[in-house]
Amino acid sequence: MLSAIIFLPVVGALLIALLSHPEARTVKRVAAFFTFIPFVLSVILFCSFDQSGGIQFKEQALWISQIDVQYFIGVDGISMPLVILSTFLGFLTVLISWKIELRPKEYFAWLLILESSIIGVFCSLDLLLFFLFWEIEVIPMYFLISIWGGGRRAYSAMKYVLYTLLGSALMLTGILTLYATTGTFDMTVLSQQDYIGQFTAVIPVAAMFFLLFIGFAIKLPMFPFHTWLPDAHTDAPTAGSVMLAGLLIKMGGYGMIRLCVSIFPDVAKDYAPLLVGLAVFSIIYGAAVTLRQTDLKRLIAYSSVSHMGYVLLGIFALSSQSLTGATLQMVSHGLVTGLLFAMVGLVYDRTHTRNIPELGGLAKQMPVIAIVFSVAGMASLGLPATCGFAAEFLTFLGCFSSEIVPGIMIYTLIGVLGIVVTAGYILWLLERVFYTEPKDRWSSLGDADGLEKVAIFTLVVAIFVVGIYPRILTNMIDAGIALMHLPMPT
């Protein structure tokens, strides 16, 4: 079933490619079917997941015998929530893209391949398989931005590729060095307690750690590796922005937990003060830069730099509670920011501008869009009963109580200031776009249609379900974190 979840979107993409001169409606229906079925299957797996933890639903077969590469997939309490998030957003992005008329055949084929590659990253338990899925996503994302994007789309697509390939080159070096040292690509073996310590490495273990870490930090994105993100977000089509913010940048945080912390816990502990300091700087810097943005997409893009700083902070506080909070924050950010970018797309489709000073008073013309946009904004600033509050509260609580990193209480208190700045730019955004005096030029605008309401209200429901009952995910995440070999307090 896990292989079906990964590869059904690829089957849909191939079927779309084989259709001879299909109608746009046919292409969209095929894409919807081949993303909806993986979502249903992931819900079945989610409901069948054994809360006692461990790797489940494993599929394992020898692939390249000469170097012992396996087709080895499975999920645990850390990856299962990200898999269901991937299939959920994958299906909704097809609905959000229903009005695409420019080359729909190629558009939806690339969108489906993108979904498969992301799910593959979260399911892979072999390092080389993990890397292959990681690399595949670059291709569809490049075409989605460069063909269906706007603004400087060719520049932004190429910048995204160059940054990603730089990170990938470092990751591959780290993976091959790890294999040369240990003789295995099996992530479950590598994460066993002190497994690396049994070998004498030609390259220091810390060097392997940072080769992997920098590749993940670029994708996260962490300051100073973040500059590709605003351009890619601003110029990507709406579905591309949703996938980018909702899923692609989560690959960085997931990689840090799955590889950097799980395989190199002692190195993570040694460099945790530095990385926590960078996390706090990313939180404050991202929030401060967001305040200066006048483009809706660019504003939300920079807010992602700040919010993913919370993820980095939770990961390298290195307590089980902070890691649970960081994982929940990834899911929360995927839902909230995915909805925010979807709402920006709806506003842009009607006004043909993302420039905040040109907008104003839109709540009168598009009340549903205004209300849902406001809900997404409130979730982003951490309003209680939304997933944003649950994730941030758990992350900060876990960081504050961590006994691993010296001075972590000070780092956490500084990081909390990011919430204050977030409230400022979110309320400023909502007030200027929706709740000022209506402008005559927008008097004839329409509200969300039926299909758009289905997509956005589904995301709203998910935001409140996770916010009101976070245990639906935290019990599962706790089970995954509990089996990790975390460093002990000094």
Q: CA–CA separation, 116 vs 8, rounded Å? A: 8
Contact 51, 475 (CB under 8 A): yes
Which of these, 266, 264, 209, lies nearest to 488 by C-alpha position? 266
Q: CA–CA separation, 396 vs 409, rounded Å? A: 9
Domain locations along the chain: 265-485
Residue appearing with tokens 């300051």: 223
**293 SS3 class:** coil
Contact 71, 63 (CB under 8 A): yes
Q: Where are the alpha helices (DSSP H) in 19-53?
A: 24-48
Contact 368, 236 (CB under 8 A): no
pTM value is 0.94
Q: CA–CA separation, 478 vs 476, rounded Å? A: 5
Q: CA torsion angle for 308, 132, 100, 304 (degrees, to 10)?
A: 10
Give the pair of three-digit tokens for residue 363: 């709540």
Q: What is the pLDDT of residues 87-99, one digit of tens each?
A: 999 999 999 999 8
> What's the length of the chain?
490
Q: CA–CA separation, 388 vs 331, rounded Å? A: 9
| Alpha-carbon distance values, 332 to 156, 157, 233, 443 (Å) | 26, 26, 19, 35
Half-sphere exposure of residue 235: CA atoms within 13 angstroms, side-chain side: 23
Q: Which phi and psi angles does 59 have, rounded to 5°?
A: -135, 125
**224 SS3 class:** coil
How confident is the prediction along the chain (490 residues), in pLDDT tens digits per residue? 899 999 999 999 999 999 888 888 999 999 999 999 999 999 999 999 988 878 999 999 999 888 889 999 999 999 999 999 999 999 999 999 998 888 999 999 999 999 999 999 999 999 999 999 999 999 999 999 999 988 889 999 999 999 999 999 999 999 999 998 888 899 999 888 777 777 666 678 889 999 999 999 999 888 888 889 889 988 999 999 999 989 999 999 999 999 999 999 989 999 999 999 999 999 999 999 998 888 899 999 999 899 999 999 999 999 999 999 999 999 999 999 999 999 999 999 999 899 998 898 898 889 999 999 999 999 998 899 999 999 999 999 999 988 888 889 999 999 998 888 988 889 999 999 998 888 888 888 888 888 999 999 999 999 999 999 999 999 999 999 988 888 877 6
Which of these, 436, 242, 421, lies nearest to 356 by C-alpha position? 436
Q: CA–CA separation, 122 vs 42, rounded Å? A: 13
Residues forming a β-bridge with 75: 56
Quote the pLDDT of residue 129.
95
| 472-475 contact pairs (CB < 8 A, 24+) | 473/81, 473/328, 473/331, 474/324, 474/328, 474/394, 475/51
**73 SS3 class:** strand
Give the pair of three-digit tokens for residue 276: 């926590």
